[in-house]
Chain A
Amino acid sequence: MSWFLQPLTYEFMLRGLLASVIVGVLCAVMGTYVVLRGMAFLGDALAHAILPGVAIAYILRGDLLVGAGIAAVIVALSIGLFSKQGTIREDTAIGILFAAALSLGVALISSMQTYAVDLSHILFGDVLGVSPADLWLIGGLSLAILLTVGLFYKQFLVISFDPVLAATLRLPAELLRNLMLVLLALTVVVSLQTVGVGLAAAMLVTPAATAYLLTRRLWPMMLVSAVIGALSSVIGLYVSYYWNIVSGSAIVLTATAFFLLAFLWKRVRS
């Protein structure tokens, strides 16, 4: 058992484990919507799209995370606006806004004076550098987001599957869609602040994609996705400890391995 306990004697490993499991579960659940609605690039896109928010916060000497959060929410709502019923598709809107926001951010940063530090990297966390404050933040936010998803489960299901039915049932479809986009934005920002962009973006897609292959209904898909997210984090972290690899990458590769297993299993079955 000592190989199991030994890494946990380090505080940073313990916090890293907790953080990656929480992020793993949160991103995996939200990732269900990302995968089903064809928004797989949302994580990566938002991670770059927050750049202008961070730049402006830096110039105003404000809190960078708040700047990032606001930028993310604005971009998310803009995605909703551009892809309103019948205009352009969500993935197209994401592509456009991501490029625009990133360029705006680069322009802002480049116009700043000498010795401006690497702004987006300030925001990107490392799963090995999680502070107690980070844990509280991600824990609290995850709880809030997952509760909201639970509360609006039926509504989110309908607007994702059949927007026309949503209108027929007189659901406030636009409002709900915007709510979902905002929840996604907050999920991405806090996740990448805690564990970095590579890990956050991957956890939004891979566990849910794996779960899609293994389940037939929505809430089992969420459940399996969460389990895979959590397992990938734990296994990945331990592998990174014993094989001396960068932890975030190890977790992503573990999640990918699960996906490949599910993919092969499905092939073999049919």
Chain B
Amino acid sequence: MTHTPHRLEIQNASIGYGEKIVLRDLSFHVPHGARVAVVGPNGAGKSTLFKALVGLLPLQSGQILIHGLPLGNHLDCVAYVPQREDVDWRFPVTVRDVVMMGRFGQLGWLKRASRRDMQIVQNSLEQMGIADLADYSIGQLSGGQQQRTFLARALAQEPHILLMDEPFSSVDITTQEATLSLLDYLREREVTAMISTHDLNLAATRFDHVLLLNRRLIAFGRPGEVLAQESLSRAFGSSLLVMENGAMLVDECCPPEEEHHHTETK
């Protein structure tokens, strides 16, 4: 009997910045092609987890294994789609340039983009419905179009694991649906996806796994198991309001820049 290594394994990992530990003692494993919603209150460490998975933050202890091997052994196995604010929109690049950057991991130092690379880029653009915007400067795009550009770039990377940081906040319905159908497309190709979101409804209905964090692992598993009262109250504490009819409200009081989220969940 062959033992297929899980796509992604985290073992006793602690992640932080210098002295300050943000995520403590995480252990879980994610199978091939799973679609995981990463949820938790603000400051729970969702972005921190992604940064560690990408290699931006070193682990203070424990290990992260991809295909059974420690992080760093697989070149650009992991694609990361950042929150929109982190990008310099005045940089002189077009949509196509940005998506092509996703191929740079494969290109190596000296080589120029091959016909195949250009084809992959074109496919990614079409997949995300922005092929007609290919030669526009990124500064000319709307919010949703910018989001889709970065999704296209992640696609062009041909990753095994895709990470997305809050892709559903402040985007229009079209982009949201485009993102979700991209995730469906990726699932067919057995790409593992980990998406952080505040939208617990979405987590419950469109994802097959949920990772609930609040500075440590609260729960990981099927939505039904994880999004239960006990774990939710451990994660969200007093922000969780349990109604008499069994419905639960999570009031995520966020930092002033973001909107309030009121999410009802059963």
Q: Do chains A and B touch in the complex (CB under 8 A)?
A: yes
Interface residues of A (CB under 8 A from B): 36, 85-86, 151-152, 154-155, 157-158, 160-162, 164-165, 167-171, 212, 215-218, 221
A167 cross-chain contacts in B, Cβ below 8 A: 54-56
Task: Using known A-B contacts A151-B110, A158-B101, A169-B76, determine if residue A216 contacts B55 with beta carbons closer than 8 Å.
Answer: no
A160-B93 Cα distance, complex, nearest whole Å: 11
B86, B92, B110: which has the most chain A beta carbons within 10 Å?
B92
Contact call A216/B92, Cβ cutoff below 8 A: yes
Shortest CB distance B117–A (Å): 12
Does B42 sit at the interface, judged by CB under 8 A? no
26 contacts between A and B (CB under 8 A): A151-B110, A154-B101, A154-B104, A155-B104, A158-B104, A161-B87, A161-B93, A161-B101, A164-B56, A164-B80, A164-B82, A164-B86, A168-B54, A168-B78, A168-B80, A168-B105, A169-B75, A169-B105, A170-B72, A170-B75, A212-B92, A216-B137, A217-B92, A218-B91, A218-B92, A218-B97
Tell whether, in the assembled complex, residue A155 and residue B109 are in contact, meaning their CB atoms are under 8 Å apart.
yes
Q: B interface, how many residues as a size bin?
A: 20 to 34
Q: A154-B104, A168-B55 are in contact. Are A160 and B92 (CB under 8 A)?
A: no
B107 at the interface (CB under 8 A from A): yes
5 extra interchain contacts, Cβ-Cβ under 8 A, other than A168-B80, A168-B157? A85-B56, A161-B91, A165-B153, A168-B55, A170-B72
Q: Which chain B positions have C-beta within 8 A of A158?
A: 101, 104
Q: Which residue from chain B places its CB closest to the CB of A173 in the assembled complex?
A: B56
**A residues less than 8 Å from B101 (CB atoms):** 154, 157-158, 161-162, 165
Contact A160 B107 (CB under 8 A): no
Is B88 an interface residue when CB atoms closer than 8 A count as contact?
yes
Chain A residues with Cβ under 8 A from B27's Cβ?
none
Q: Which residues of A contact B88 (CB under 8 A)?
A: 161-162
**Is A215 a contact of B76 with CB atoms below 8 Å?**
no
B37 contact set on A, CB distance < 8 A: none
Q: Which of A85, A160, A164, A171 has the most CB of B within 10 A?
A: A164
From known contacts A154-B104, A167-B55, A170-B55, infer whether A215 and B92 are also in contact, taking CB-CB under 8 Å.
yes
